[in-house]
Amino acid sequence: MGGLEVEQMSNERYPGYDVLSKRHTPSWNEQTRRAINRRLAVPDGPRFFTAAEWQTLEALCGRIMPQPRDRPPVPLPAYVDEKLRIGREDGYRLASMPRQGEAWKRGLAALDEEAKAAHGGRRFHQISPAEQDALLHLAQRGELSGPAWRGMPSKSFFQNRVVHDILNAYYAHPTAWNEIGWGGPASPRGYVRMGFDRRDPWEAAEARPGQEAKALRENKRVG
């Protein structure tokens, strides 16, 4: 990442597009529907983390992936919590890092301790967004190394847990798919029009300058 400033995306690029309109059409098979339904049913609350850890995680997600206020947010803390609760691993682990659950708990505790040391006893979620960003920039550069890290490199935690897990959580949700015009899993329909600047009828139409109304009409028909 070149920094923590993330563009707040909206659905203006693909106006009127809603990938969930495919939910009960031949575009998705039953396996796809079950998988998406499970994602949408993840409860918004801590089951792996403690209540205090959840506060820190919520603040952290808000700085890594700020979201528009004109639609319901993707439940990033809940998705991270669920990944750890069910033990869905990445298939690899850096030698310098503990297992993902321990890494998250240690990293959140360390961010709280770093915030308290720098800001008069206030925890990470209690300091201002600018102060949060300043601490995260230090972590990103590997410049946080207080006792609470217990030897875990703050840079590795930032890159391999924070950014990795939060961004993966965001793009696992249909709201993010709407914003990038992705139609979801291609089973069973597959792709046909594979040439440059061509799209299948079920794919979202991008709003080119002066053609926004046309894109809106086309996206209302996509299913």
Per-10-residue mean pLDDT of the chain, 223 residues long, equals: 40 88 88 93 96 98 95 96 96 94 98 98 98 98 97 98 98 95 84 81 87 87 67
Residue 108: predicted pLDDT: 98
Residue 193: predicted pLDDT: 83
Residue 186: predicted pLDDT: 80
Q: In this structure, what token pair is assigned to residue 44?
A: 């918004």
- What CA–CA distances, in Å, run from 112 to 80, 176, 185? 18, 29, 39
Residue 11: predicted pLDDT: 62
Read off the pTM: 0.88
Residue 8: predicted pLDDT: 41
Residue 42: predicted pLDDT: 96
Residue 192: predicted pLDDT: 84
- What CA–CA distances, in Å, run from 121 to 137, 160, 163? 20, 28, 26
Residue 223: predicted pLDDT: 61
HSE (side-chain half, CA atoms, 13 Å) at 138: 14
Q: Which residues have CB under 8 Å from 65's CB, separation 6+?
A: 6, 74, 76, 166, 167, 170
- What residue type is assigned to position 212 of the chain? E
Residue-wise pLDDT for 6-51, tens only, equals: 334 456 899 999 999 988 888 889 999 999 999 999 999 999 999 9
Rounded CA-CA distance 62/56 in Å is 10
HSE (side-chain half, CA atoms, 13 Å) at 87: 0
- Cα dihedral across residues 25, 185, 12, 41: positive or negative: positive
Residue 185: predicted pLDDT: 84
Rounded CA-CA distance 40/36 in Å is 6
Residue 140: predicted pLDDT: 98
